[in-house]
Structure 1
Amino acid sequence: MTRAVEALPAVGEPYLQGQLDTLCGIYSAINGLAAVLASVWPLRGSAATTLFRHAIGFVAQRIPLVDAVIDGISPELWLDLIQELARLVKAGPGRAIRIERPFADTPGVRFREVCARIDAALDRGDVVLVSLVGTYDHYTVVRGHTDARYLLHDSISLQSLMKRACGSLRSSRRHLIDPRWVVLLRVVEAVREPP
């Protein structure tokens, strides 16, 4: 099933990173949360600025900020950041943001299976964050798909990736997606702890 572009919730434009920094990890986390929360409440203005400031502080506590700006952040720190920011935002009364990494412990997974899982997640309304290697060393947000493309909500204004140009790390394709760092975001009913 292809999720039509018309079915995507209105999110507004993604936040864009500067031309000289490599803060795509921070921007992808914020843009991913904005996209997954679009149907609940818009993550814009002062709320987004507050989240960005918190993200900068979070990263600066773990690595020198100059390293993050010049070299970017590791996938491990990126995941920690996504989890931290998701904890801070409110998904609405009785709701939470679920974070899932379907291939975290699955070395050697077939890329066809990765694509099928990404497509299924997008079809049910999830937002997918991915780590790209190859043409772009970049973290980005996938928020929809067609039969031929992944539709992006991206901090450097990438609009889409041709599916046939994507592959796993061992591939010779143009856009390499590391399955270990495919992150699914979804708004779910919060689980209440028993008293």
Structure 2
Amino acid sequence: MDKYHLDGTVTSQDKLVMDKYHLDGTVTSQDELMLDKYHPDGTVTSQDELMLDKYHPYGTVTSQDQLVMDKYHLDGTVTSQDQLVMDKYHPDGTVTSQDELMLDKYHPDGTVTSQDQLVMDKYHLDGTVTSQDQLVMDKYHPDGTVTSQDQLVMDKYHLDGTVTSQDQLVMDKYHPDGTVTSQDQLVMDKYHLD
């Protein structure tokens, strides 16, 4: 998720429909990740959006620095755990307990497993990557099955601009019947520093 350079420059590739993150903190209607079609009937609500705004270069965090990925449950209920908290990613590379994406309670029975968490920590300025630098978004299916596609791999975004085939967010297979649509993918690759 680079090309959000310290000097504030932004290129046309710096968008996932995740663009217009301005240094002055303004937010436009394009500052949204539309992660819709979670529901079996294909309906989409206003809550089916990832709000990834106001991540300022100097490390400040606002109440808007949250990814709200709620309404995953078949009955439409929403809990306080249905939020992605992506705050406190400081320029000095420190990581706090809040640097976790809590993507739990996907299952119809409301159970939560240790795999129902997105751990997006340790993205250091020196470009190091650890095994925790992966988004594990598995166990979406009602029967509890997990496929290799049920993972968001956001690793290897190095300061030298290299990109690997793993630099993609594959968010497919959300539907109970196992179908996959073109909208079920977030492709966040090739965000080079150059």
- Scaled by the length of structure 2, the TM-score of the pair is 0.31
Greater strand percent: which structure? 1
Comparing both chains, which one has the higher relative contact order based on Cα–Cα distances under 8 Å and sequence gaps of 6 or more? 1
Greater helix percent: which structure? 1
- Scaled by the length of structure 1, the TM-score of the pair is 0.30
